[in-house]
Amino acid sequence: MPALEENRQENLLRKMNEQGGFTTPDNYFDAMKSSIIAKTSGDKLTIYDHQGGFVVPELFFETQKNKILSKSTTSRAHKISLSYNQIILRVSSIAAMITIVGFLFLFENSSKSPDFTANISNEEIFNHLVKNDVSEDLICELLNRNKTNKNENDIEKYLYDNADEDLLMDNL
């Protein structure tokens, strides 16, 4: 775009912007400016007063700031707690899925009569479980039916002790 044309367009819009007299709510920005300048390096500060006609309620920014600070102090503990629970849940789910796949593998090999799983690979079953986000309840139910697998605790313990947490998360 030629520079002249670009300048013409910008000037047209800029002129209109200046006519607008963008408003600010009840001296809020004056107070905010003082507050910010007191806490930051004023020479680098740019205050934008023109907001295209949008306004905010009185004392909105102070209220919002307090809300954010309140939430931020509580969010850390909440996040840690959630993350720990999620890790337990996910590691358990993976262990359960591995157990089911193992069970199906054993069942497939030991069964002499043909059945509906005969033509389905273990990998396909595993992918199906993961893709369809099979509920933990269902997995537990299946596990309870399958009392023949005595390695469940060993697998779970092994995952807890040795598996990389990020890798487990990525594989979910």
Which residues make up the interface to other proteins (CB under 8 A)?
Answer: 1, 6, 9-10, 12-13, 16-17, 19-23, 29, 32, 35-36, 39-41, 44-46, 48, 50-57, 60-61, 64-65, 67-69, 71-73, 75-76, 79
Q: Which residue's CB is nearer to other proteins, number 14 or number 128? A: 14
Least spacing, CB of residue 84 vs other proteins, in Å? 15
Least spacing, CB of residue 89 vs other proteins, in Å? 20
Q: 95: which residues sit within 8 A by CB, 6+ positions away? A: 152, 155, 156, 159
Q: Which residue's CB is nearer to other proteins, number 56 or number 125? A: 56
Q: Which residue's CB is nearer to other proteins, number 56 or number 168? A: 56
Under a CB-based contact definition with an 8 Å cutoff, are residues 94 and 143 in contact?
no
Rounded distance between C-alpha atoms, residue 81 and residue 75, angstroms: 10
Least spacing, CB of residue 53 vs other proteins, in Å? 2
State both tokens at 68: 């954010």
Least spacing, CB of residue 3 vs other proteins, in Å? 12
Strand, helix or coil at 47? coil
Which one-letter amino acid corresponds to residue 74? T
Under a CB-based contact definition with an 8 Å cutoff, are residues 96 and 146 in contact?
no
Which one-letter amino acid corresponds to residue 29? F
